[in-house]
């Protein structure tokens, strides 16, 4: 789908008026509001039914724009931005007062990133505002990688949806905190811990949060289809009911074949689960993905999707 300047201009005007715009990034579709407008951001939480303890990421169009909303910009931020921006990396830093507390779950920090998608960048630039945007779906449910997924989840609760086709990365950004001492990985993604450590040295893994979360995506159950999702070992299948197996191994009859390479698997994951979720199955079984840091983000999404509360 092609998005023209007129569509971008209309969507930008809606954002400036306090409206909500669903737009594509390279990871998933975001549900965007003016990040400096507390009332507009509060609408995101209302529409998504998102708890106030879960912050939202702020999308900017340049490193210079990011510095406006970060109270500190350490050398590590500069080095990571140079290496990975635009791209699926969110940096958590102390925030300035321009970003209202509703964005950050009341915490003094904010997650910032430059999305690697021309529509997202054009929208931010046309609006002249940073855009607060979690995924454009109901809280804890499958993230959308197409405009059709957004419509199915949120319908006409959004003022406009910019449809630019499927998103290429397919899962949410890596989130790294640069607050305090050593960097802390808050949410794994398709930028691996090995890649991060090649720039900033040792990276710690986040402990389970209590109270407000320092990053989105830290709830035990998240990214879940309505159909029960179970993780299984190769050769296993649930007993009873009607379901389907997802495997990255070739030659497994009666299964849905997923890519054997991590980036391609991530790009296909949510779209595959959305399709299966509409087939009135009793279960979806997903074989455990390979070990290794390249699969950490996928493993995280699957483990949270399989969590039953």
Q: What is the mean pLDDT of each run of 10 residues along the chain (309 residues)?
A: 91 98 98 98 97 97 98 97 98 98 98 98 98 97 98 95 98 96 95 98 91 89 94 92 95 92 98 97 97 97 88
161: left (phi over 0), alpha (psi -120 to 50) or beta: beta
Residue 285 lies in a domain: yes
Q: Chain-centre distance of CA 243, in angstroms? A: 27
Residues 190, 246: one domain? no
Same domain, yes or no, for 177 and 266? no
Q: 184 and 69 in one domain?
A: yes
Alpha-carbon distance 225 to 18, whole Å?
30
Q: What is the DSSP letter of 135?
A: B
Residue 219 lies in a domain: no
The reported pLDDT for the residue numbered 94 is 98
The answer to whether residues 82 and 194 belong to one domain is yes
Place of tokens 């305090």: 180
Based on the fold, state whether residues 245 and 281 are members of the same structural domain. Answer: yes
Domain hosting residue 272, numbered range: 228-305
Do 240 and 138 lie in a common domain?
no
238 shares its domain with 118: no
* Predicted local distance difference test score (pLDDT) of residue 153: 96
Whether 150 and 261 share a structural domain: no
246 plus 103 within the same structural domain = no
Residues 169, 52: one domain? yes
């Amino acid at each position: 789908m092609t998005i023209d300047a007129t569509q971008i201009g209309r969507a930008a005007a809606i954002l400036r008026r306090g409206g909500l715009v669903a737009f594509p990034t390279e990871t998933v579709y975001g549900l965007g509001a003016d990040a400096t407008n507390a009332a507009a951001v509060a609408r995101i939480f209302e529409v998504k039914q998102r708890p106030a303890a879960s912050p939202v990421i702020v999308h900017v169009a340049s490193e210079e724009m990011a510095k406006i909303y970060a109270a500190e910009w350490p050398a590590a931020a500069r080095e990571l931005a140079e290496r990975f921006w635009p791209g699926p990396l969110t940096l958590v830093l102390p925030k300035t007062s321009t970003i209202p507390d509703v964005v950050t779950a009341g915490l003094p920090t904010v997650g910032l990133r430059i999305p690697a998608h021309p529509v997202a960048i054009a929208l931010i630039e046309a609006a002249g505002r940073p855009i607060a945007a979690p995924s454009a779906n109901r809280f804890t449910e499958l993230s959308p990688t197409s405009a059709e997924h957004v419509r199915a989840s949120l319908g006409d609760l959004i003022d406009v949806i910019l449809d630019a086709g499927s998103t290429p990365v397919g899962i949410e950004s890596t989130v790294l905190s640069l607050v305090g001492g050593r960097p802390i990985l808050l949410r794994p993604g398709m930028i691996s811990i090995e890649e991060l450590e090649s720039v900033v040295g040792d990276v710690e893994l986040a402990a389970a949060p209590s109270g407000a979360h320092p990053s989105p995506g830290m709830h035990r159950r998240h990214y879940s289809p309505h159909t029960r999702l179970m993780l299984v070992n190769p050769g296993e299948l649930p007993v009873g009911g009607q379901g389907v197996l997802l495997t990255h191994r070739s030659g497994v009859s009666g299964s849905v074949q997923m890519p054997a390479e991590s980036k391609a698997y991530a790009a296909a994951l949510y779209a595959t689960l959305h399709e299966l979720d509409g087939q009135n199955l009793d279960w979806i079984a997903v074989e455990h993905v390979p070990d290794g840091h390249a699969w950490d983000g996928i493993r995280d999404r699957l483990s949270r999707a399989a969590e039953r509360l």
